[in-house]
Every structure is written in structure tokens, then in C-alpha cells.
């Protein structure tokens, strides 16, 4: 990896030191979360603060699990983030393929429109969405937070940029000459070629959906929360116990951190790939 263009110079000890400092700065708050989650609340109100793990982790996790509805929250978040990631990847691949390889009228204008929608943050739409779910009586139901997030302009653009170079036009033409209907072309040609980019987009979308904040805290309550809603409940003082709050934060972050430990390299690669082409 380091043998790429521009990476020809060796970094000295200064570079290494600076990077180590920043890497620690990135990781230590998370380590400290785990330390605080493993202590009693009384110990956290002493000076100096604890620097190593204590023995109360399981107890605090248990309290967070039962009092902050974290079990339900984790299950809901997996459902929500999973559905959003699947639909985003599917629709982004279809649209990205069309924009990358097919000819149709107003294509450039429509692509510009896709890019333009990236500038419109979903936060501006919460009032009408709230009115809609009040009318439909969808408050506290998971579809209320899934449906508005099912497509992403970033995803369309990401897949287009990938397929433009990764999918040889001859391959599509060959399948066409063989008489394949476009649905078959997508299934047998586009999807296999796009698979690595689909995986990356799926992971990025999953992380984003897992951490989605504003709309879920409006649409859901503590009775049927996502992780972020449950954590907001913790942070707004429904549970005063600091060590339990930290245990909740740990529970809500751990699944993504584990995914990072396993797929970190791929996620890093995906973000960088999207960046160069975007």
C-alpha cells in the first residue's frame, strides 16, 4: 500500500511520533469509555479518575441493557441499518449503472440533479415528515425511520464512478448481442462486476444509518428506540449513573468497532476509492 505514487519517501521518527500521538488521541476516548463502564459510579466521582479497568463491567452493561432498553435498541438498529444499507446498495447500483453505461435523454441533467440533492440535508425535511407519520400513526414504528433513508445520492454517484471504469462496455454489448434483456444484464454482468464496490457502499451506509440521529429521536421514543435514541435517553438524564451511561455508549458502539476491527482495511480503502474518483 505504501508503495503507491507519492509514497516513495520514508517517514522519519517525527512522522511516526506525530501519527502515534494522533492515533492514541483517536483511540483513547474509546478505551476510556470501556474503563469508565467497568467502574462504579462512586469511583468515577473521585480524583484522580481511574486509568485502568475495574470489575463492574458486566453489572453496568446489565443495568444499561435493562434500564435503557439497549437490547431492543440494538435489535432495532440492526434491522433499520440493515434495511437501509440493502436498499441503498440495490438502488444505487441500478442508477449508478444507468448513469455510467447507458444512453438516455437528459442523462447529464439528471446526474447533475443527483449531485445537487447531496447538498440538501435531510434535517430540513423533518417537519413534513413528522406531520406525515403523525397522520399515518407511524410514530414509534421502524418503517418511519427506514423509508426516508432508502436511497442516497452519494451511493448513486459512488457506484457510477466505480462502474465507469470497472465495467467494460464490451461486456454489456456482448450480453446484449446474446439477446439478454437488461434485467438479465444487470443480474449476470453488472452485479458480479460491482460486487466489491457494493460491499464497500453497504458498509459505509450501514455505519451512517447506525449513527443516524436527528430524525430517529423525533420519530421514535424510548419504548421502541434505536441505539442513538436510547443513548439520547441516557444522556438526557433518565439515568443519572455515569458508569451506566458509559456502559450504554460502549454497547451502542461496540458492534461497529468490531466491524472496524475486521473490515477496517476495506472501509479505509472504500473511503479513499470514493474520494479519488469523486
Q: In the bound complex, what is the minimum distance in angstroms from residue 58's beta carbon to another protein? A: 19
Q: Locate 242 and state its grid cell.
A: 455515569
Q: In the bound complex, what is the minimum distance in angstroms from residue 66's beta carbon to another protein? A: 19
- Cα gap 168→163, rounded to integer Å: 8
- Cα gap 187→135, rounded to integer Å: 39
Angle at 46 between CA 34 and CA 52, to 5 degrees: 35
- Cα gap 72→265, rounded to integer Å: 30
Q: Which residue, 22 or 58, is less far from another protein as judged by CB? A: 22
Hey, how many other C-beta atoms are within 10 angstroms of the C-beta on 167? 19
8 A C-beta contact, residue 36 and residue 50: yes
Task: Give, as ranges, the residues between 232 and 251 that touch another protein (CB under 8 A).
Answer: 232, 234-237, 242, 245-246, 248-250
- Contacts of residue 23, Cβ cutoff 8 Å, sequence gap at least 6: none
Question: Contacts with another protein: how many residues (CB under 8 A)?
Answer: 125
Of 211, 222, 224, 239, which one interacts with another protein (CB under 8 A)? 211
Task: Give, as ranges, the residues between 132 and 191 that touch another protein (CB under 8 A).
Answer: 134-135, 147-151, 153, 156, 168, 170-172, 174-186, 188-189
Of 57, 80, 114, 197, which one interacts with another protein (CB under 8 A)? 114
Pattern 41-80, another protein, x by CB under 8 A: ---xxxxxx-------------------------------
Q: In the bound complex, what is the minimum distance in angstroms from residue 238's beta carbon to another protein? A: 10
117 binds another protein (CB under 8 A): yes
Of 108, 123, 137, 165, which one interacts with another protein (CB under 8 A)? 123
3-state secondary structure of 115: helix
- List the end-to-end C-alpha distance of the chain, in Å, as a whole number: 20
Amino acid at each position: 500500500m505504501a508503495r503507491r505514487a507519492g509514497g516513495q519517501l520514508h517517514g522519519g521518527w517525527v512522522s511516526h511520533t506525530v501519527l502515534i500521538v494522533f492515533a492514541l488521541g483517536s483511540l483513547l476516548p474509546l478505551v476510556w469509555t470501556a474503563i469508565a463502564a467497568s467502574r462504579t459510579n462512586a469511583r468515577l466521582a473521585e480524583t484522580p479518575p481511574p486509568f485502568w479497568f475495574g470489575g463492574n463491567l458486566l453489572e453496568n452493561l446489565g443495568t444499561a441493557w435493562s434500564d435503557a432498553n439497549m437490547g431492543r435498541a440494538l435489535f432495532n438498529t440492526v434491522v433499520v441499518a440493515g434495511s437501509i444499507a440493502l436498499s441503498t446498495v440495490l438502488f444505487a447500483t441500478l442508477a449508478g449503472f444507468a448513469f455510467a453505461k447507458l444512453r438516455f435523454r437528459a442523462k447529464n441533467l439528471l446526474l447533475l440533479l443527483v449531485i445537487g440533492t447531496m447538498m440538501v440535508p435531510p434535517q430540513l425535511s423533518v417537519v413534513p415528515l413528522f406531520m406525515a407519520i403523525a397522520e399515518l400513526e407511524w410514530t414509534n414504528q421502524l418503517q418511519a425511520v427506514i423509508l426516508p433513508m432508502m436511497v442516497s445520492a452519494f451511493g448513486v454517484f459512488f457506484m457510477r464512478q466505480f462502474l465507469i471504469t470497472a465495467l467494460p462496455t464490451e461486456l454489456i454489448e456482448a450480453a446484449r448481442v446474446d439477446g439478454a434483456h437488461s434485467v438479465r444484464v444487470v443480474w449476470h454482468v453488472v452485479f458480479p462486476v460491482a460486487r466489491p464496490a457494493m460491499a464497500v457502499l453497504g458498509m459505509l451506509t450501514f455505519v451512517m444509518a447506525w449513527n443516524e440521529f436527528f430524525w430517529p429521536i423525533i420519530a421514535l421514543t424510548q419504548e421502541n428506540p434505536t441505539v442513538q435514541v436510547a443513548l439520547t435517553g441516557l444522556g438526557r438524564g433518565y439515568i443519572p449513573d455515569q458508569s451506566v451511561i458509559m456502559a450504554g455508549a460502549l454497547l451502542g458502539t461496540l458492534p461497529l468497532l468490531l466491524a472496524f476491527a475486521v473490515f477496517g482495511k476495506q472501509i479505509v480503502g472504500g473511503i479513499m476509492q470514493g474520494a479519488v474518483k469523486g
